[in-house]
């Protein structure tokens, strides 16, 4: 008889109940090893031994939102706010280009001073100066027209984690002015506008159950994102969730394996949060099916201030140190960090007038 893993490997869609059963089976002997073996084989088939790199530029930690889990939420008076200037951002790109990065991820809080026009100008200047690089935006929820403007300015990809696909759980993690409906609407807009789109959830966020994670998997199965960012929830000491337990390495790795099998060509980072809960978290992520790493390109002077969660790694390390550290880490497990945009395989892109 076909097992659930067999069916997943064959590209079959699973029901919510089946996803739950799979998650529940993870402590059974041999299941995790079998999942990782399959996930690594699938990744090998599409990407070989390549690990794609993204240079992450955390360009503002000012945010108008108040998500309960996040260290840069507006109510956190202890956060030391900063904004990089355009010149500082270009200097990060220049350094990143020299280190072999061909994707820049511009990530920030929802900062009212970074207007649509200003973001567009930034993106188009980066694309002009580094035409062989992809630009990924990770700047939260905007009206569809703004997303369209970002696309016209040349942004290639967009990361917007859905955080949880369960409306009740979403409400537990966010203040009332934020809604899962709106989040999902943004994700569909981004997809229609021709971005390579990334969503994703925190693993082990307060109150999360396996049933909710099964909903996340169902959502990924229907949305079919190009990228999926998942990492463990990690408490931040100045947030309402300061005393909540962190998500586990084991569950995060298991989910990475499932996501690789469900979406064979997906761009799947071994995230900084994963590296922050275990000294070899990112390596273990790659060995569970991930194929992307996102080292930090932000100036060391501001690194500590982008503290979404506690004990974040690499806050004291120069970009060049992280670059070399990562290629050494990947080489040690038999993988190679490559100089490449690392697009979604066979991505069609968008038509000129879109």
| R_g over Cα of the chain | 19
On the CB side of 113, CA atoms within 13 Å amount to 12
- Residue whose pair of structure tokens reads 């789109």 in the numeric block: 197
Cα gap 97→154, rounded to integer Å: 18
Cα gap 180→225, rounded to integer Å: 17
Cα gap 2→8, rounded to integer Å: 10
- Of the pair 34, 317, the CB lying nearest ligand FES is at 317
Minimal distance in Å, beta carbon 230 to ligand 5AD?
8
Asked if 70 is part of the footprint of ligand 5AD (rule: CB under 6 A), the reply reads yes
Could you give the string, one character per residue 322-341, with x where binding to ligand FES holds by CB under 6 A and - elsewhere?
A: x--xx---------------
Asked if 161 is part of the footprint of ligand 5AD (rule: CB under 6 A), the reply reads yes
Residue 110 CA from chain centroid, whole number:
17
- Helix-helix angle 86-98:116-129, to 10 degrees: 30
Which strand (E) or helix (H) includes residue 336? Answer: strand 336-338
Sole window of 55-63, 188-196, 232-240, 278-286 interacting with ligand 5AD (rule: CB under 6 A)? 232-240
11: which strand partners? none
What does 342 bind: ligand FES, ligand 5AD, none (CB cut-off 5 to 8 Å by kind)? none
Q: What are phi and psi of 224, to 5 degrees?
A: 50, 65
Is 291 exposed, middle or buried (CB count within 10 Å of its CB: 0-12, 13-18, 19+)?
buried
Sole window of 36-44, 78-86, 89-97, 314-322 interacting with ligand FES (rule: CB under 6 A)? 314-322
Quickly count: other Cβ atoms within 10 Å of residue 36's Cβ: 19
Sole window of 63-71, 128-136, 257-265, 317-325 interacting with ligand FES (rule: CB under 6 A)? 317-325
Of the residues 19, 47, 69, 170, which one makes contact with ligand 5AD according to CB under 6 A: 69
- Residue whose pair of structure tokens reads 């703004």 in the numeric block: 146
What does 174 bind: ligand FES, ligand 5AD, none (CB cut-off 5 to 8 Å by kind)? none
Could you give the string, one character per residue 242-281, with x where binding to ligand FES holds by CB under 6 A and - elsewhere?
A: ----------------------------------------
Asked if 295 is part of the footprint of ligand FES (rule: CB under 6 A), the reply reads yes
Of the residues 61, 196, 236, 296, which one makes contact with ligand 5AD according to CB under 6 A: 236
Minimal distance in Å, beta carbon 282 to ligand 5AD?
15
Asked if 163 is part of the footprint of ligand 5AD (rule: CB under 6 A), the reply reads yes
Residues in Cβ contact with 27 at an 8 Å cutoff, skipping those fewer than 6 apart? none
Q: Which positions lie near ligand FES, rule CB under 6 A? A: 295, 314, 317, 321-322, 325-326
Q: Which positions lie near ligand 5AD, rule CB under 6 A? A: 69-70, 161, 163, 202, 231, 233-234, 236, 273, 308-309
């Amino acid at each position: 008889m076909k097992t659930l893993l067999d069916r997943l490997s064959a590209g079959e869609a699973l029901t919510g109940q089946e996803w739950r059963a799979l998650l529940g089976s993870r402590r059974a002997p041999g299941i995790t090893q079998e999942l990782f073996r399959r996930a690594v084989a699938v990744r090998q088939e599409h990407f070989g031994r390549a690990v794609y790199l993204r240079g992450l530029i955390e360009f503002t930690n000012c945010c108008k939102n108040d998500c309960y889990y996040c260290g840069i939420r507006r109510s956190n008076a202890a956060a030391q706010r900063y904004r990089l200037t355009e010149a500082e951002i270009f200097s990060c790109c220049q350094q990143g280009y020299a280190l072999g990065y061909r994707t820049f991820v511009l990530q920030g809080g929802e900062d009212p001073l970074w207007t649509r026009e200003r973001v567009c100008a930034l993106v188009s200047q980066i694309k002009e100066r580094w035409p062989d690089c992809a630009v990924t935006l990770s700047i939260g929820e905007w009206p569809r027209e703004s997303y369209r403007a970002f696309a016209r300015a040349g942004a290639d990809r967009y990361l917007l984690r859905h955080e949880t696909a369960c409306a009740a759980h979403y409400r537990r993690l966010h203040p009332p002015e934020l809604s899962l409906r709106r989040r999902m609407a943004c994700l569909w807009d981004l997809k229609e506008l021709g971005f390579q789109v990334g969503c994703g959830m925190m693993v082990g966020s307060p109150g999360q159950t396996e049933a909710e994670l099964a909903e996340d998997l169902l959502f990924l199965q229907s949305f079919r994102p190009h990228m999926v960012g998942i990492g463990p929830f990690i408490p931040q000491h100045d947030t309402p969730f300061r005393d909540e337990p962190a998500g586990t390495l084991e569950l995060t790795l298991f989910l990475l394996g499932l996501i690789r099998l469900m979406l064979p060509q997906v761009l799947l980072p071994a995230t900084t949060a994963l590296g922050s809960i275990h000294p070899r978290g990112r390596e273990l992520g790659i060995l569970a099916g991930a194929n992307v790493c996102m080292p930090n390109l932000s100036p060391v002077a501001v690194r500590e201030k982008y503290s979404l969660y506690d004990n974040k790694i690499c806050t004291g390390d120069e970009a060049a140190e992280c670059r070399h550290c990562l290629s050494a880490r990947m080489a040690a497990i038999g993988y190679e960090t490559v100089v490449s945009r690392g697009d979604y395989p066979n991505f069609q892109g968008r038509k000129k007038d879109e």
